[in-house]
Structure 1
Amino acid sequence: MRASRIRLLAAAGATLATLALTACEDGTGTQDEGASQPASTVTADTSAKSPSTPSSGTSADGTAANDPAQAGGGANGDKDNGKDNGKAGGSGSDDGFPDRVACNGSNTTVTVKPVPRPVNHMLITVKNKGSKLCDLTYYPVLRFDEMQWAPQPFEASKPQAVVSLSPGETAYAGVLLSAADGSGDGGTTGRKLAVGFHGATPNSDGGPSALPSLPAGGVYYDSSLAVTYWQQSMDDALTP
């Protein structure tokens, strides 16, 4: 009896194996979820990008590549920079006179006259007769006749800024001709006067001299001869 039962179980197992094999072959069976996929069904995706490599037109931080607004360059960036440079580097000035020039004998009218106060003084008046703003630097350089020396300036009269003249404006300088107490020496009478101009630096050429007329009897001067710096007002030019 025991041997017959064993044979029956063996036969049943064989029958079940045969049925399972038949089901797999005709496509009606199911596969185990844990079964491995055939190697032939797995292909490599060669078009995939590396996570660390930005795609075309995009930077690593997600902004558009070659964007002038982000990079600060490119055609638009250069154009904007050009506009800024044009604004910052423009020529001319905001005072309405883009072509400032030096005042000298060619663009001014110069007159001289003795004054009663202070005693032994003469006033030089310069008027801008041109159409451009002109600058008077330092002090007038005086030369009577053929004199070989130049009068020194009163340093106390030096202004804080260069005197500038718009067209039609005037400026002044005072001249001490001789010592009131007679302490000067080498006194003589000048018949002709040349008024010279400094350039941008002391003793540099400021342009043509002016040749103002002197009184008919000339002007007496001695070794005390001295001159003020150019002044904006007559009172400053004649202040002892």
Structure 2
Amino acid sequence: MSSNRNRNRIRIRTTVLATGALLAALSLTACGSDTGTDSAKAGAAAPAAHSAAKQSPPPAATPKKAVTDADTTSGTSTDAPTTTTGGTPKRVVPPAQSEPKKTTTSSPRTPSTPNRTPATCTGGNTKTVVSKVNHPINHLLLTVTNTGDRPCYAYYAPKLRFDDAQAVFPILESSLPQAVVTLDPGRSAYAAIGLTGEPGAGPAPRKAAHLQVNFSGRNAAGSTGAPAELTLPAKTYWDDNGYVTYWQTDMADALTF
């Protein structure tokens, strides 16, 4: 009886141990299964996230600034690199490159110069003045001044008419200068008028109030251009024996005759 009891105890103990070991094994299996499931789930989720990351579109590229005339002129590039200061992107502008100077070829300009070709002295480009002198007596002095912008030639002698006289006043041939008198603008020439000849040598002197001065051209015959119309000094008397000199460059030379 005692032996049977012992065997039964051993059998029960063995059964209990076997049952416990089985329960423990089942428990471990269950834990492993849960852990594997979570791992599997995590593993399955990871590729999905990775796949989503690959499919997300890349950030939009910043559009390039359109090239304008100002960019082209100043020599700056629209594709200049950028730098970041304080988190805000800033555009780095390279130093402007100077454009090569354009070489232009132009024909030389002829400077504007006044016409220096001498003209003929006339009443239109001169001013003529008649004045009375103290010495020699019975003389008047004609002064002609170039008022034009180029030289003029005072040819020969002035051709005079007192009042309404028909004949030209006589010219003193001995006063002929060595060369034609040339007047630059602003310069003057002179001629002396001897009003009367030797007393009693001809008709009595006549009083005159007006004098017409005509100018000779290159040809001594006749006159050219407009005449000068002058008022004579008071108490001017003349006769047919008087004379007028050729134009002289010096007033003293004119009054020596």
- TM-score tier, shorter chain, comes to 0.5 to 0.7
- Matches of 2:147 and 2:116, distance apart in 1: 17
Alpha-carbon distance, 1:160 to partner: 0.8
Runs of 4+ in structure 1 displaced over 6 angstroms?
none
Q: Is the 8 A contact 1:119 1:180 kept in 2?
A: no
Alpha-carbon distance, 1:182 to partner: 4.1
Q: 2:236 aligns with which of 213, 219, 236?
A: 219
Q: Is the 8 A contact 2:162 2:211 kept in 1?
A: yes
Give secondary structure in 2 for the equivalent of 1:181.
Answer: coil
Q: Given the two structures, how large is their TM-score scaled by the length of structure 2?
A: 0.53
Give secondary structure in 2 for the equivalent of 1:194.
Answer: strand
Aligned letter for 1:181? Answer: P
- Matches of 2:172 and 2:197, distance apart in 1: 14
Hey, what does 1:18 align to over in structure 2? none
Hey, what does 2:159 align to over in structure 1? 141
Q: Does 1:229 align with 2:257?
A: no
Q: Is the 8 A contact 1:120 1:179 kept in 2?
A: no
1:72-92 C-alpha deviation (Å, 9 max, x unpaired): xxxxxxxxxxxxxxxxxxxxx
Hey, what does 1:183 align to over in structure 2? 201
Q: Percent identity?
A: 40
Superposition RMSD on alpha carbons, in Å? Answer: 1.5
Q: Which stretch of structure 1 is more off in the superposition, 198-207 or 106-115?
A: 198-207
Aligned letter for 2:190? Answer: Y
Hey, what does 1:156 align to over in structure 2? 174
Hey, what does 1:122 align to over in structure 2? 140
Hey, what does 1:107 align to over in structure 2? 125
1:195-219 C-alpha deviation (Å, 9 max, x unpaired): 000111112332110112222x251
Alpha-carbon distance, 1:184 to partner: 3.4
Aligned letter for 1:111? Answer: V
Q: Does 1:239 align with 2:256?
A: yes
Give secondary structure in 1 for the equivalent of 2:174.
Answer: helix
Unaligned runs of 5+ in 1: 1-95
Q: Does 1:131 align with 2:153?
A: no
Alpha-carbon distance, 1:224 to partner: 1.3
Structure 1 or 2, whichever has the larger Rg, is: 2
Q: 2:215 aligns with which of 197, 207, 225?
A: 197
Give secondary structure in 2 for the equivalent of 1:109.
Answer: strand
- Matches of 2:117 and 2:192, distance apart in 1: 29
- Matches of 1:235 and 1:187, distance apart in 2: 26
Alpha-carbon distance, 1:191 to partner: 1.0
Q: Is the 8 A contact 1:112 1:212 kept in 2?
A: yes
1:29-71 C-alpha deviation (Å, 9 max, x unpaired): xxxxxxxxxxxxxxxxxxxxxxxxxxxxxxxxxxxxxxxxxxx
Q: Is the 8 A contact 1:200 1:206 kept in 2?
A: no
Q: Given the two structures, how large is their TM-score scaled by the length of structure 1?
A: 0.57
